[in-house]
């Protein structure tokens, strides 16, 4: 074998030239170099090289799949590291002058060391990015692997894992071995995959004596899923999810809260998503609610959907060391997300940022979040806000303004060199301003402290892959004071007739939006800037009409006008904009 390898090395320049000029000569050269010797028949060495080569290829394939599912790993980088290490060792084995069998084995060992080195480096790095139950090469992983060695094929997991789930304690949710457990696992897998694939942010399962009710909230719209679970399947789903969320399976009425992680495996889906699980019930029904906490809750000001002038104004006021910003809107319009985005404009490492919230949406990094607890002896919301203000904060966020004392404390704190963000439920900025003045009872203080008032709605964004252009009605454009000659088309979501071809055959579901016609949501904002003329009107107790007239003179745009801009730009549809501004609970029929 040594003779063959060395002869091939010596003939390498001839091989290259011959392959280019005379392929037949190249073949003869190869056959001449690979002369029959006793060493050529050392099948043990050949077998060892082939086995290591195949194992290395399988590992490279696994790295390619693994880096696809783990979000933080750079796939091209790690594939290059693993392939590069193996090829370097293989090239050294084939090209270096190994003159004795002992040296040949040394080269083989060097190749193996290079493969093992890159393997260990990758495994250590990838294990640092995943939960303990998903780590490979650990004692626990090897013990699980050894436990499965020797099992017959029919005894192994029969269920297909389409969704990777992690229980509340960090352990991977594995398929049970018993028949009933496997069936429940498969049903939950189907439910989780369907909800995540359809981009649901909330799943509600109501189990009654009759048929169960399953509802998804997708892009803010409640969508029934009547054909996914029957009563028998729903009865298996709730105990399975309760068990792995750390809840009491036998408790059917008392409210419980737990968490699990879930993520679709393979393809372009990466990582897992935190899911808050809540259960409650009565004598008539049991309710399971899963809140899927996705990236839409981690937005910054740039991502909210404000126009460029609105964003610049908001960031300018956020940069002030003191003052009051009121964030308003109806229930479900994304107030908490906007308040969180406002807090992210501040340096949480240099400033002391505190919040008081009734129900935190998520944990904020390096921000102290206080949850309102009505059971405490200082039961009122205002008293607990006062406790927060005593802790010398630089920035304070209150998710609610529920009474006069809360409004008074917020205004006073903003006047005393604190940055305040206050949430108020209102239909527009002027109603929010009216509520604040009425509750605070201090027009002078409100005028001094208040910087801006925002109001918002959430609209669904049209799917760019399947949206349909159309020419809008001229009378509609005139009614909306839009230039008829400058608008060629609007966009809308596909209708039923758009989903079939000329022969009446279905075109198939859009893979981007799953057939809903919309993908994601964006905000529509109205911002009232409190400049000096408006401050004077507030101090003098002038009417809202006078303040509204002055705001229009300053160039303020109403919600409807900003919404129409998004329709003209093709971001959303006219029907969706009108639905969002009706202040009604969105449903699938809307």
**pLDDT over threshold 80, residue 186:** yes
Say how far residue 280 (Cα) sits from the centre of its chain.
27
Does position 317 have pLDDT exceeding 90, yes or no? yes
Q: What kind and span of H or E run contains 27?
A: helix 23-33
User: In 380-462, which ranges are E strands?
Assistant: 395-398, 419-424, 450-462
**One-letter-per-residue 3-state SS of 454-470:** EEEEEEEEECCCCCEEE
Q: Which range among 25-34, 50-59, 169-178 shows the weakest confidence by mean pLDDT?
A: 25-34
Q: Is 120 helix (H, G, I), strand (E, B) or coil?
A: helix
Query: What pTM was computed for the model?
Result: 0.68
Q: What is the pLDDT of residue 41?
A: 45
Cα within 13 Å of Cα(133), Cβ side:
12
% of the chain exceeding 90 in pLDDT: 49
Query: Residue 62 and residue 79: Cα distance in Å, rounded?
Result: 10
Q: What per-residue confidence (pLDDT) applies to 462?
A: 96
**Residue 445: both structure tokens together:** 């203080």
pLDDT one-digit tens code per residue, 413-460: 999 999 999 999 999 999 999 999 999 989 999 999 999 999 999 999
Note the pLDDT tens digit of each residue in 360-389. 888 898 999 999 987 775 678 999 999 999
Q: Is the pLDDT of residue 546 over 90?
A: yes
Helix (H, G, I), strand (E, B) or coil at 18: helix
% of the chain exceeding 70 in pLDDT: 84
Q: What digits encode the pLDDT tens for the residues 483-513?
A: 777 888 899 999 888 877 777 677 778 888 8
Q: What are phi and psi of 324, to 5 degrees?
A: -115, 125
Best mean pLDDT range from 43-57, 124-138, 326-340, 572-586: 326-340
- Domains of the chain plus CATH, in order, are 42-132 (no CATH), 158-293 (3.30.450.90), 298-580 (3.40.50.300)
Higher pLDDT among residues 38 and 226, named by residue: 226
State the maximum Cα–Cα separation within the chain, in Å, rounded to a whole number.
108
Asked if residue 284 has pLDDT above 80, the reply is yes
Residues 199-248: tens digit of each pLDDT: 999 999 999 888 899 999 999 889 898 888 999 999 999 999 999 999 99
What is the sign of the dihedral through the CA atoms of 311, 313, 319 and 325?
Answer: negative
Q: What is the pLDDT of residue 296?
A: 61
Stretch 460-477: mean pLDDT: 90
* Model pLDDT for residues 100-134, shown as the tens digit of each residue: 777 777 777 888 888 888 888 888 888 777 666 66
Mean pLDDT, residues 264-287: 82
Q: Which residue has the higher pLDDT, 9 or 253?
A: 253
Residues 6+ apart with CB under 8 A from 362: 274, 293, 297, 298, 340
């Amino acid at each position: 074998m040594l003779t063959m390898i060395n002869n091939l090395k010596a003939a390498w320049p001839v091989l290259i030239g011959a392959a280019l000029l005379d392929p037949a000569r190249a073949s003869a050269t190869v056959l001449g170099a690979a002369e029959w010797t006793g060493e050529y028949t050392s099948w043990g060495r050949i077998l060892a090289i082939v086995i290591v080569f195949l194992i290395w290829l399988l590992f490279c394939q696994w790295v390619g799949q693994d880096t696809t599912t783990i979000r933080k790993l750079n796939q091209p980088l790690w594939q290059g590291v693993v392939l590069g290490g193996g090829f370097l060792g293989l090239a050294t084995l084939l090209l270096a002058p190994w003159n004795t069998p002992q040296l040949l084995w040394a080269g083989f060992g060097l190749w193996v060391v290079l493969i093992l080195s890159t393997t260990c480096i990758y495994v250590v790095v990838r294990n640092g990015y995943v939960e303990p139950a998903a780590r490979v090469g650990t004692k626990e992983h090897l013990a699980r692997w050894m436990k499965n060695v020797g099992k017959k094929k029919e005894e192994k997991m029969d269920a297909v894992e389409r969704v990777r789930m992690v229980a509340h304690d960090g352990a991977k949710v594995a398929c049970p071995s018993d028949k009933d457990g496997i069936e429940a696992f498969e049903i939950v897998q189907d439910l989780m995959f369907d909800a995540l694939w359809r981009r649901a942010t909330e799943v509600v399962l109501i189990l009654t004596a009759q048929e169960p009710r399953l509802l998804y909230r997708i892009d803010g719209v409640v969508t029934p899923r009547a054909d996914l679970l029957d009563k028998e399947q729903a009865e298996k789903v709730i105990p399975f999810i309760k068990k792995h969320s750390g809840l009491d399976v036998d408790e059917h009425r008392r409210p419980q809260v737990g968490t699990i992680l879930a993520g679709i495996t393979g393809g372009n889906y990466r990582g897992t998503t935190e899911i808050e699980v809540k259960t409650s019930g009565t004598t008539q029904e049991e309710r399971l609610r899963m809140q899927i906490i996705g990236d839409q809750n981690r937005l910054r000001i740039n991502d909210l959907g404000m126009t460029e002038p609105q964003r610049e104004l908001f960031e300018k006021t956020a940069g002030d060391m003191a003052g009051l910003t009121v964030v308003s809107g109806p229930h479900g319009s994304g107030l908490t997300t906007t308040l969180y985005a406002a807090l992210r404009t501040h340096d949480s490492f240099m400033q002391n940022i505190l919040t008081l919230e009734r129900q935190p949406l998520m944990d904020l990094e390096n921000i102290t979040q206080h949850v309102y607890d009505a059971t405490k002896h200082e039961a009122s919301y205002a008293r607990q806000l006062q406790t927060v203000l005593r802790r010398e904060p630089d920035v304070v966020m209150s998710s609610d303004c529920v009474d006069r004392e809360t409004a008074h404390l917020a205004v006073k704190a903003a006047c005393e060199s604190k940055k305040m963000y206050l949430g108020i439920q209102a239909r527009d900025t002027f109603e929010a301003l009216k509520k604040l003045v009425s509750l605070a009872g201090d027009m002078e203080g409100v005028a001094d402290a208040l910087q801006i008032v925002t109001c918002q709605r959430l609209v669904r964004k049209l799917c760019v892959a399947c949206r349909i252009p159309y020419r809008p009605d001229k009378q509609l454009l005139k009614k909306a004071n839009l230039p008829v000659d400058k608008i060629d088309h609007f966009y809308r979501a596909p209708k039923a007739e758009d989903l079939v071809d000329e022969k009446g055959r279905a075109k198939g579901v859009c893979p981007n939006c799953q057939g809903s016609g919309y993908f994601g949501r964006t905000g529509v904002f109205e911002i009232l800037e409190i400049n000096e003329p408006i401050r004077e009107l507030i101090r003098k107790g002038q009417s809202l009409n006078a303040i509204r007239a002055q705001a229009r003179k300053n160039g303020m745009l109403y919600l409807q006008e900003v919404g129409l801009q998004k329709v003209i730009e093709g971001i959303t549809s006219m029907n969706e904009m009108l639905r969002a501004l009706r202040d009604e609970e969105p449903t699938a029929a809307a």
